[in-house]
Amino acid sequence: MRFNFKSLTFQVITAIIIGIIVGALFPEFGVQLKVLADIFIKLIKMLIAPIIFLTVVIGIGSMGNLKKVGKIGGKALIYFEVVSTIALAIGLVVVHLVNPGQGLDTSAAKAGDVSAFTSAAAETEHGFVPFIMNIVPENFFGSLAAGQLLPVLFCAVLFGVAAASIGDPVKPVITLCEQVSEIFFKIINMVMKLSPIGAFGAMSYTIGNFGIESLKSLGLLMVAVYITMFLFITFVLGSIAKFYGFNIFKFIAYIKEEIFLVVGTSSSESALPSMMRKLEKYGCSKQVVGLVVPTGYSFNLDGTSIYLSMAAMFIAQAYDVPMSIWQQITLLGILMLTSKGAAGVTGSGFITLAATLAAFPMIPVEGMALLIGVDRFMSEARAVTNLIGNGVATVVISKSEKEFDPTGAHNREAEAEEASPSSNPEVIA
């Protein structure tokens, strides 16, 4: 197999290697290259509010009439919340056991860059009541303009639920949101093409400022993320699958083409159409597949959840930010919300991490610069875990609702009915 030297992965690898060399040989110059990473991060941060708003609105609004699909949708949302919360918790536990960020020298950054974040944290009101009050915005559009994550999520949920309750009359609005989201996804793809430059600047800065020993911490985090996701798929999703009567490894083998596609693109969304067809052939009904899979791409990102919790705690460990158990529970609660706004595209985990840290100012958002160099390699693991998690969720909901037929007879009957000449052409149109 011939290696594609034009691939983004190859470019990022090359940029990282060059960044390591530049940072090691010319540390002062390497530190100055941080501006490249800063620009890349700002490009991502400017997309946070619209991406989260659109993905949440589409995820909820595409359900249609909530009364009609309330039982399936409600069961799916409960499943998503429980499983993704387990994923978040597992990530927190593993990152505490491994401590990948401990011992990373960030003294140079603490002297200047972090001061802005620590002062912001000091000015922020803490506690349950202020937290709840900050979720409700004073102005619907003002929250979008200001990029305030939690108010954006609140507005998106209200908008999506209202749209879903109205039903067919507002389908053009949901379609418009989907079209606008495609534009933002295109912008993300454009921004991600600059990731080699961001990776080069970040790695040059990391090595020049923190020393070559920082590679050990980054490598340890990456290995820990991969191992955690493997354990999550094998034991958590595997146990769920066994309970509902199917084998997780046989299921993974069944969707292997989709997994290879996701690995190549680092995006679980790239396999969405073929994954839906595969699930229908596997035995899930069209109704369940059409409802659960698209919704899962906004609400059931298990791999992204694991990454978010581990990456956030890695930065906290690197900057030696002490966090009580209650503060970690608060972080977990914020992650439970922000992880629902991650889209299934390349870089979505990084976008949502920026949003999470913006909503939890105890952890400096500039610490994301430490992760740019290795984020590309963790994105494949995130995307594959998201894909498998949504596939398992669809089968589970189908089986629990008795909408599963391994022969695929119910789908063939539905297709035959749609293709029947006696069908109403106006309805079909």
Domains located in the chain, CATH noted: 8-415 (1.10.3860)
Which tokens sit at 223? 């290995």
**Percentage, residues of the chain above pLDDT 70:** 71
Quote the CA–CA distance of 389 and 306 in Å, as a whole number.
12
- Which of 299-313, 335-349, 403-417 holds the top average pLDDT? 299-313
Quote the CA–CA distance of 148 and 48 in Å, as a whole number.
9
- Angle at which helix 372-400 crosses helix 66-98, to 10 degrees, equals 140
Cα 85–Cα 87–Cα 88 angle in degrees, nearest 5:
65
Q: What is the DSSP letter of 137?
A: -
- Angle at which helix 286-299 crosses helix 272-282, to 10 degrees, equals 140
Q: 251 falls in which pLDDT band (50, 70, 90)?
A: very high
Q: 122 falls in which pLDDT band (50, 70, 90)?
A: very low
pLDDT digits (tens, 9 = 90+) for 337-347: 666 655 444 45
CA 147 to chain centre: 18
Type of residue at 266: S
Whether residue 258 contacts residue 281, with contact meaning beta carbons closer than 8 Å, is answered with no
Which tokens sit at 289? 């597949």
Q: 221 falls in which pLDDT band (50, 70, 90)?
A: confident
The per-residue pLDDT for 224 is 85
Quote the CA–CA distance of 20 and 176 in Å, as a whole number.
44
- For residue 165, pLDDT beyond 70: yes
Q: 129 falls in which pLDDT band (50, 70, 90)?
A: low
Report the predicted TM-score, pTM, of the whole model to 2 decimal places: 0.64
What number is the average pLDDT over the span 280-284? 89
Residue 145 CB neighbours (<10 A): 9
- Which of 52-66, 102-116, 119-133, 283-297 holds the top average pLDDT? 283-297
pLDDT digits (tens, 9 = 90+) for 376-401: 667 778 888 988 999 999 999 999 88
Quote the CA–CA distance of 399 and 8 in Å, as a whole number.
40
